[in-house]
Amino acid sequence: MRKIFLLIIVITLSTGLFAQDRIFNYIYQSGVLGKDQKELEIWTTLRTGREDYYRRIDTRAEFEIGLGKRLQTAFYLNYSSKASGIMTDTVSTLERESDFSFSNEWKVKLSDPAADIVGSAIYGELTIGTAEFEAELKVILDKQIGLTTHALNITFEPEWEWGPEKGQIKAEAEYKFEFDYGVGVMLGKGWTLGAEIRNPNVYVDDSWAHSALYAGPTVSFSRNDFWVNLTFMPQVIGLRGKTPGQGLNLEEFERYQVRLLFMVGL
Write down the pTM of the prediction: 0.89
CA–CA dist 265, 19 (Å, integer)? 13
* pLDDT > 70 in the chain, percent: 90
* Domains of the chain, first to last: 2-265 (2.40.160.40)
- Of the candidates 257, 263, 177, 264, the residue with the CA atom closest to the CA atom of residue 217: 257
List per-residue pLDDT tens for the chain, 266 residues long. Answer: 444 333 433 433 344 444 446 999 999 999 999 999 999 999 999 999 998 889 999 999 999 999 999 999 999 999 999 999 877 666 578 899 999 999 999 999 999 999 999 999 999 999 999 999 999 999 999 999 999 999 999 999 999 999 887 778 888 999 999 999 999 999 999 999 999 999 999 999 889 999 999 999 999 999 988 999 999 999 999 999 999 989 999 999 999 999 999 999 98
What are the residues whose beta carbons fall under 8 Å from the beta carbon of 244, sequence distance 6 or more?
Answer: none
> Which helix (DSSP H) or strand (DSSP E) does residue 256 occupy?
strand 256-265
Do the bridges between strand 132-145 and strand 119-129 make them parallel or antiparallel, or are there none, so unpaired? antiparallel
pLDDT in tens, 148-163: 999 999 999 999 999 8
Calculate the average pLDDT of the chain.
90
Give 171-194 pLDDT, tens digit per residue.
Answer: 899 999 999 999 999 999 999 999
